Amino acid sequence: MQGLMMQQPLLVASLLMHAERHHGEQEIVSRRVEGDIHRYRYRDLAQRARRMANALADLGIKPGERVGTLAWNGYRHMELYFAVSGSGSVLHTLNPRLHVDQLAYIIEHAEDRVVFFDLTFLPLIESVAPRVSSTKVFVAMTGRAHMPRDHGLAATLLCYEDLVEDHGDVFDWPLLDENSASSLCYTSGTTGNPKGVLYSHRSTLLHTYAAALPDSLNCSARDVILPVVPMFHVNAWGLPYIACMVGAKLVFPGPALDGKSLHELIENEQVTLSAGVPTVWQGLLAHVDTTMGSFSSMRRTIIGGAPCPTAMTATFQARHRVDVLHAWGMTELSPVGTVCSFKAHQVSLPMEERYALQAKQGRSVFGIDMKIVDMDGKELPWDGIATGDLFVRGHWATRDYFGNDDTPPLRNGWFPTGDVARIDPDGFMQITDRSKDVIKSGGEWISSTEIENIAYLHPEVTTAVCIAARHPKWDERPLLLIVKKPGGALVPDELLTFFDGRLARWWKPDAVVFVDSVPLGATGKVLKNRLRDQFGDYYLSA
Ligand code: ADP
C-alpha cells in the first residue's frame, strides 16, 4: 500500500548510532576498578564497541549465542552492551553477588560462550570456571599492564584492551529482526533455581522510549546521570540505553558504592539524576549527614527495587532539595512498570499528603497495564482500599522464561507479579507486600511495608523489617526487627508506642526485636525468608 511509513526495525545498535551522530561529544565518566577516573565521549564508545564487535566475530560468537559479563558499572561494560547485542548475540549480565553455585548454574544454563569480567571478580571466575563446560574463553576487562599473571584458570584468558586494539573499527551493525533476543538477566531466585528473562531488541527500545519520558524517569540531554543500580541487574533499569537515546552525560561509579565515594563523584561530575535501591541511599545519606555535606547539582533521584520509606523521601526532598521518584519494577518487566510522578491536581497538595502519595509505587507507564485480583481471579476496584494480587501485561513484560519447561507463568495473557497491591482512583499502585510475605492475622491481611514505613520515621531506626511470626491465637502476627542507630537508647516499648495513632490498632506489631544487621540478597533486598526461619516462632516460644 502506498503512503505508509518506513519500516525500520527497533534495534539496540540504533541507540549507539544515534548517540555517536547526534551527541558524539557528550561525556562518559567511569571510576575504574584500577582506582582512577576514566573519561571519554560517545564517539569513542561507538568506535570501541565496533572494534569489540569485530573481536567477538573473530572469537566465533554467532548470532543468538550468549556472552556473559561479570562487571561493575563502567565504560567497558557499556561497550559490551552494544557490541554484543548490536552484533546479534545476547548480552548475559551476571550478578557477582550470587552464590558461586547459582552463578555456575546460570552460566551453564545460558550456555555462555565467553565471559567478560572485571578484575575484582577473578577469584570468583576461578571458582566458577571448572564447573562450567560451555565457556571456553574468559576475558579480563583491563589493559595489558594489569593482566593477572598467576591465575588458576585452565581455560583461555584474554585481555580486553588487546581485543580492542587488535581489531578495526569498521563494522556494519546487522539489520536484525527486532524480535530477536538482545539481552538476558536471571531473577535472583530466593527460592528454587534462578530463571532467565530474555529481552528482545524491540522490547528494549520500547522500554527505553517510555522510561525516558518526563513522567517516567524524566531524562534529557541536559542531565548528568549516575546509575548506581548495577548494570548486572536488569540493565541498570535501562539507563545506559536511555542515556544514548537522549544524549545525557553518564557517570559510572565502578566498584565504589560507599557513601563517601558516591558523594565525591556526584559533586565532582555535577550529577543531576541518580538511581538506586534504598540500601545504597542509606549509606549516602548517612555520609552526607555526618560530614554536614550537601548536593550542589543533584535534583532528582530514582528509588526502587524495594519500598522507599517516607523518611528517606523527606530527607532527600526537605533537607537536600533532591526530588524522589519512587519506581516499581521487576526483572520480568525490563524493569520499569510504574513511577510515582504527580498528576496536575496533586502538585499543590499539603506536604504530608504528597509524602503519603510518594510512599506509593506510582502509576502505570504507557506500555504496561496492570490490575489487581482477588483469590478467585476476579478484578478488584481501584478504590485505594481493596488489596489483591498484582498482574501486568505489556510491550516489555516477559511471556515465559528462557529454556524453562515449567508451566508458563501467564494467566489469560497477564503476568502474575507475586506482589500484593492496592490501586487508588488516580491509578496510583501501592505494594503492600510480596505475596509470600503477607501477614495473615485472624483471616485479615496486614501490610508489612506500611509498618516498616512508620518505623523508619523514628529517628533512632536505621533498618526496619516486619515479618509474619506464627501466633497461637491469630495464626500470624507482625513482628518488627530493628537495627538501631549506633549509640541510641531506644527501647522496644518506646518504639511500639510510636505506632499509636499512626496505624490501625490491630496492625501494630506485638513485639520489637533489636538485631545487629539483617541479611541482604544479591540485589540489596532484605531476605525476609531467612529472618522468618530465625524469628518465625517468636510468639510461640515467648
Ligand atoms: P529479584 O530478582 O530480587 O526478584 P527484581 O528486581 O526482579 O529482583 O524484584 C522485583 C520485586 O522487587 C518486585 O516484584 C517487588 O516485590 C520488589 N520491588 C521492586 N520495586 C519496588 C518498590 N518500589 N517498592 C516495593 N517493592 C518493590
Give percent of the chain with pLDDT exceeding 70.
99
Assigned domain for 409 exists: yes
Q: Which residues pair with 66 in a beta bridge?
A: 90
Kindly tell me if the per-residue pLDDT of 524 is higher than 90.
no
- Return mean pLDDT, the chain: 95
The catalytic position among 69, 93, 135, 187 is: 187
Same-domain check for residues 428 and 444: no
84 occurs within a structural domain: yes
Distance CA 229, CA 539 (A): 37
Strand ranges for 436-474 from DSSP E: 439-441, 444-446, 461-471
Q: For the residues 444-465, what does the mean pLDDT come to?
A: 93
CA distance linking residue 155 with residue 162, whole number of Å: 18
Q: For residue 100, what is the domain's CATH number? A: 3.40.50.12780
Please state the φ and ψ torsions of residue 516, each to the nearest 5 degrees.
Answer: -80, -35
- Judge if 16 and 159 occupy the same domain: yes
Residue 476's pLDDT is what? 95
Q: Is residue 46 part of a domain?
A: yes
Reduced to 3 states (helix: H, G, I; strand: E, B; else coil), residue 118 is coil
Average pLDDT, integer, range 486-512: 93
Residue 379 domain flag:
yes
What one-character-per-residue DSSP string does 267-316 give?
HHHT--EEEE-HHHHHHHHHHHHHTT---SS--EEEE-SS---HHHHHII
What's the longest Cα–Cα distance across the chain? 78
Tell me the β-bridge partners of 139: 116, 158
CA of 48 relative to ligand 1 center, distance in Å: 34
Ligand 1 pocket member 12 (CB < 6 A): no
In 3D, which of 203, 162, 231 has the Cα closest to residue 399? 203
Say whether pLDDT at 189 is over 70: no
Query: Is the model's pLDDT at 523 over the cut of 90?
Result: no
Determine what percent of the chain is predicted with pLDDT higher than 90.
Answer: 90
pLDDT of residue 190: 60
Looking at residue 444, its pLDDT comes to 87
Assess if residue 30 is contained within a domain.
Answer: yes
Of 185, 202, 219, which marks where a domain is finished?
A: 202
Q: How confident is the model at residue 488 (pLDDT cuts 50, 70, 90)?
A: confident
Domain with 362, as residue range(s), is: 354-433
Domain count, the chain: 3
Mean pLDDT across 56-77:
98
Is it the case that residue 192 has pLDDT exceeding 80? no
Give the model's pLDDT for residue 180. 98
Helix axes 201-212, 239-246, angle to 10 degrees: 70
Q: Residue 234 and residue 275: Cα distance in Å, rounded?
A: 13
Whether the predicted pLDDT of 154 surpasses 90? no
- SS3 call for 355: helix
Are the beta carbons of 526 and 465 closer than 8 angstroms?
yes
All residues at 6 or more sequence positions from 99 whose CB lies less than 8 Å from its CB, including other chains: none
Same domain for 445 and 420?
no
Among protein residues, the one with the nearest Cα to ligand 1's atom 19 is: 305
Over residues 5-54, the pLDDT tens digits come to 999 999 999 999 999 999 999 999 999 998 899 999 999 999 999 999 99
User: Distances from the Cα of 359 to the Cαs of 79, 324, 341, 530, in angstroms?
Assistant: 36, 10, 11, 26
Residues 400 and 458 in one domain: no
Dist. CA 329 → ligand 1 center (Å): 6
182 within domain boundaries: yes
Closest C-alpha to ligand 1, atom 9 = 330
For residue 27, count CB atoms less than 10 angstroms from its CB and return exposed for 0-12, middle for 13-18, buried for 19 or more: middle
The Å distance, Cα 311 to ligand 1 centre, comes to 20
Instruction: Read off the DSSP letter of residue 34.
Output: T
Terminal-residue alpha carbon distance, the chain: 76
